[in-house]
Chain A
Amino acid sequence: MTGRVELEFQKCMARLYGYALSLTGDRELSQDLLQDCAVRVLSAKTAPSEAAALRAWFFRILRNLWIDGFRRSRLEPAPDEPAPPAQENWRFDEQMIDVITVRHGIGRLPPAYRDVIALVDLVGFPYAEVADILGVPIGTVMSRLSRARQALLTVIGETNVHPLRAKQGP
């Protein structure tokens, strides 16, 4: 394994940790997951040569580790494809969308929704990369993501966590 892989891994560590947090919802588990991912990456005999593929490889390894060990032993994930939330009469108060309310809402989403939201919004992967990492067609990524965001808006709308209003004037 070359220094190129280590350097790229270092660059991705914050987002990998954020992704781990979104999967596990637990800091201790996320640290373990990141550590195990680093071990797996550095012990691999080969790695993708292209930078984008290398980054996707890191996230795929971390996700597979979560599926293989942490999720099976410690978490009770929701079904992989939860039912879509109702869309009728869609309205939303944008003032409710805030880092605090979103963070609170994401914590209440099923793992499959958190997974796809994190890969798209946190990591910034295009749908095709996400489909590759998740092992599903792009159409599934699109539908799952749209359901996940609507579920998130629903949770935010129902929550009793509210963003503080900024003070107006002195």
Chain B
Amino acid sequence: MKTPDWTDLNAYVDGELRPDAAAEIAARIAADPAVAAQVATLARLKAATAAALSPASAEVPEIRLGRGVRGPGWRRHGARAAAAAVLLVVALGLGQWLWPRPDAVQAWLQQATERHAQWLAAERDPAPIAPPAIRPADAPDGPSWIPDLALARLAVAHVAATKSNGRPELYVGYVGVNGCRLGLWIGPAPARLAASLAEHRDGDVTSFTWRAGDIGYAVMARGMDEARLRAVAAYLETATRQSLDESGETEVARRPAAAADAPCIG
């Protein structure tokens, strides 16, 4: 009977050997104290390693896996976002805008990136909107489609609802823990805006656009890791589609006009 090598002993401790090979090593353990000692050491090491690498439950970061801000979560983004979103979605639901020209996608995206640039220029050190200051006055069950990016460690720092030619648009600025800034533009989709995720580059600004129903979305950032931005965009695309699938926007569009008049706070 040959002495089992170190690799075989490891496989034995891990239960990875075929039955005949395992039986051979078991016999060797019974006959050779040196082999038995090695196996005992490996077993002890394996158990200690599992314990050493297991993080304490309190240490595991909390990650919310919800796809959008719903119910209580909506309150964190506050009345400004609530009022702006309600206003936007109600207006979108009315369908009172003109369809843009076929070549309007680039112009639409340019408008979005310019809005993003304005925010970057205006707020050199944006801070997340403090929850106590933005508690909604009248939006207990607000629309669910303003995405919560806490998952990607991005917090809402800026919300602005605007109108262009009578068409409502919404810009949401997010700030990351390391200062990176990401903009989300929501507005009536131009006619040729692709439904699937499309990447655009303009200088050092990278953008991703998509369409969910009649609403167009653009997410953009300057100098952000592209893979990270793409992942966030893909997440947003999924979240906005699911929101649409659940008829969230349609439902919100039918809310009483009073809800759309909720005042902006802060």
Of the candidates B46, B51, B231, which one forms a contact with A36 in the assembled complex, judged by CB atoms under 8 Å apart?
B231
Cα of A42 to Cα of B66 in the assembled complex, Å: 9
Q: Does B225 contact A (CB under 8 A)?
A: yes
Q: How large is the interface on B (under 10, 10 to 19, 20 to 34, 35 or more residues)?
A: 35 or more
Given A146-B10, A149-B45, A153-B45, A42 and B53 touching (CB < 8 A)?
Answer: no
A169 to B52, CA, bound (A): 27
Provide the main secondary structure of the chain B interface: helix
Contacts of B61 in A (CB 8 A): 17, 31, 34-35
Pairwise interchain contact B6-A87, C-beta atoms closer than 8 A: yes
Decide if A35 touches B152 in the complex (CB within 8 Å).
yes
Check if A18 is an interface residue, CB within 8 A of chain B: yes
Interchain pairs with CB closer than 8 A, number? 125
Against A, the Cβ 8 Å flags (1 = close, 0 = not) of B56-79 are 010111010101000000000000
Identify the A interface with B (CB < 8 A).
1, 6, 9-10, 13-15, 17-19, 21-22, 27, 31-32, 34-36, 38-40, 42-43, 65, 68-69, 87, 90, 92, 94, 97-103, 106, 117-118, 120-122, 124, 126-127, 142-143, 145-146, 149-150, 152-153
* Contact surface of B with A, Cβ cutoff 8 Å: 6-7, 9-11, 14, 16, 38, 40-42, 44-46, 48-55, 57, 59-61, 63, 65, 67, 151-153, 225, 227-228, 231-232, 234-235, 237-238
Chain A to chain B contacts (Cβ below 8 Å), 23 pairs: A17-B60, A17-B61, A18-B53, A18-B55, A35-B153, A36-B152, A39-B151, A39-B232, A40-B234, A43-B234, A43-B235, A69-B227, A94-B40, A102-B51, A117-B53, A118-B53, A127-B11, A145-B14, A146-B6, A146-B7, A146-B10, A149-B42, A153-B45
- Ranked nearest first, the 10 interchain pairs of A and B with the lowest CB-CB distance are A43-B234, A103-B52, A43-B235, A122-B53, A146-B7, A121-B49, A102-B52, A146-B10, A102-B48, A31-B61
